[in-house]
Every structure is written in C-alpha cells, then in structure tokens.
Structure 1
Amino acid sequence: MERSHQEDLHSAGYGLRNQVDHLLDAYEQQQTRLDEVQRQLETLRVPVSSPDRMVEVVVDAQGVLADVALTAAALRRPLDELGRSITETAQAAAQSARQQVQTLLATVTSEFDGATALSDIVEHATDVGDIRTRTEAGDSADDGSVDT
C-alpha cells in the first residue's frame, strides 16, 4: 500500500476517533443532565394555599395530591365550601406543577438543541425529545380536573 494512502487512512481513522470521543462526551453530559432532571422531577413538590389561607395542598410533578392541610377555621366552614376550596386549590397546584415541569424541560431542551441525539450514539437511550413528547402527551390527556 502506498505511504500516502496509509497516511490518509490513518488521518481519517484519527478524525473518526475524535468524532466518536466527542459524541461520547456529549452523551455523558446529556445523560448526567437528564439524570439530574429526573431527580428534580421525582422530588418536585408544589405547595399552594387557598386565597383565604385556610387550605394548603401539596402536589408532585404530575399534579398528584401529596398532602392537604386545613386550619381550624377551615373546619368550621360549610362542607360544600370547604370541598370547593380544596378542589380549587388542588387544581391551582396541579397547574403550577405542570408549568414548573414545562419550564424545566424547556430549559433542558434548549441546552440540547443542535446536539447529537443520544439514541444516535447509544441504542435504547432516552432523548430529550422523547421526554418532551411524553410530557406533552400527558398534558393533552389532562383536563385539569382533580379526582376525589
């Protein structure tokens, strides 16, 4: 084999190794960031108080009710008013959770815009677009109501 051709192959191989190293570095950074976001979503708790401060609810990232606290004064209210206040406060908390999740995912998505998709590097890897699609699908299925 001609020396010039060997040098060309060696140079191409070196360039390819650099490209693979770059892609793997990008993958590791993206995976680390996605793991961090996943932990944030798992621990997200959103507290919201009713306008009169007699009811406080806490929901998780999916808007699922995690806690309800009532003041003594709330317990003296008519049950239909109390129920309405709890429901409205829980709905407000769920909406706030959706907004916080969307903001977090938008930040991550913008960080990865133009980056090589993880699934292009590693088979079965989760891409930011996959997370966004699942989140948006969940939002479209949610009518904002709270099951009691």
Structure 2
Amino acid sequence: MPPADPDANAALRARFDEVHAQYTHLRDNVGELQRDLAGLEVSVASADGMVTVVVGARGQLLRLRLHERAYAAHRPDRLAELITKTTRRAEQAAVEATAELVARVVPAETGVPELLRGGDLGALLRRHDDTMGYEERR
C-alpha cells in the first residue's frame, strides 16, 4: 500500500470543507428562500400603460389589470396581443427574479441559477460531467 500523500489529503479536506459549507448554507437558508419564492410577485406594464400583469415566481398569472380606456384604445385582437406580450415579459422577469433569489442560496457553480434562467438541463448535466471528469462511452 503506497504511503498517504499529505498534500492530496489536505486538498481533499479543503474541498470537503468547501462543499460542506455550501451545503450548510443551503440547509440554513432554504426556509427563507421558500418564503421569498412563495411571496414573489413581479409586475410588468405595457408600454402604453393599458395592461398590467402580475405573476408569481413560477410565472403564474396572479392578477391582470386593464386600464379603463384599454378597450377604447385597442381593438380586441390588438388588446389580446398586448396582454400576451406583457404576460411573456412578466414571466421572463419572474424567471430572472427567481434565479436571483436562488443564487443567494445555491452556489452559481452548481448551474442551478443558470438552469432556471435558460431551462437547459443538458447544459447543467454537461457541467456536472466536466466537473466529475466523466466522458460518455460510445
């Protein structure tokens, strides 16, 4: 059996301490993160102010407000399009706000905040594979 390498052991210990600290931070702050996400509301108004959309952390529609002149200012098809576009902007703003809240607790190097922003699970798995030195077998 080869002798233990003190430098390698110190490096492993340092990495373990880092990962453990990240885990502890996550565990200690997950309750606050859940409360923040549950209470998150993002409000976006159309450029003309006729439509205001409020969505939650998952982009779910919470409230829709139409200005009293919205029907007079826009034909029905144009108003529907304005509502849809404003809702999409609000959904994207909610994704960004959610990712920012998660990034306070979950380390960026995990890829989770970026996954929330882009929804690319493949990129997250490739990052993990690179970190672990995994190469796909063919």
Interval containing the TM-score (normalised by the shorter chain): 0.5 to 0.7
Structure-2 change in CA distance of 1:137 and 1:56 (3 Å): closer
Give structure 1 stretches of 5+ with no counterpart. Answer: 1-22, 114-128, 142-148
1:105 aligns with 2:102: yes
Deviation at 1:32, TM superposition (A): 3.1
Identity within the alignment, % = 32
For the pair 1:37 / 2:33, whether they are aligned, the reply is yes
Q: 1:94 aligns with which of 87, 91, 94?
A: 91
TM-score when normalising by structure 1: 0.57
Residue 47 of structure 1: aligned partner: 43
The runs of 4+ residues in structure 1 deviating greater than 4 Å are none
Distance 2:85 2:44 in 1: 10
Q: Which digits, 9 at most, give the CA deviation of each residue in 1:5-50, with x for residues without a partner?
A: xxxxxxxxxxxxxxxxxx7xx74x5323111001101110100000
- Preserved CA contact (<8 Å) 2:46 2:52: yes
Q: What does 1:63-74 correspond to in 2, within 5 Å? A: 63-74=59-70
**Superposition deviation, residue 90 in structure 1:** 0.3
| Ranges in structure 2 where 5+ consecutive residues have no aligned partner | 1-19, 122-138
TM-score calculated relative to the size of structure 2: 0.61
Aligned length: 99
How far residue 137 of structure 1 moved from its aligned partner, in angstroms, is: 9.5
Q: Which has the larger radius of gyration?
A: 1
Q: CA RMSD in A?
A: 2.9
Tell whether 2:58 aligns with 1:62.
yes
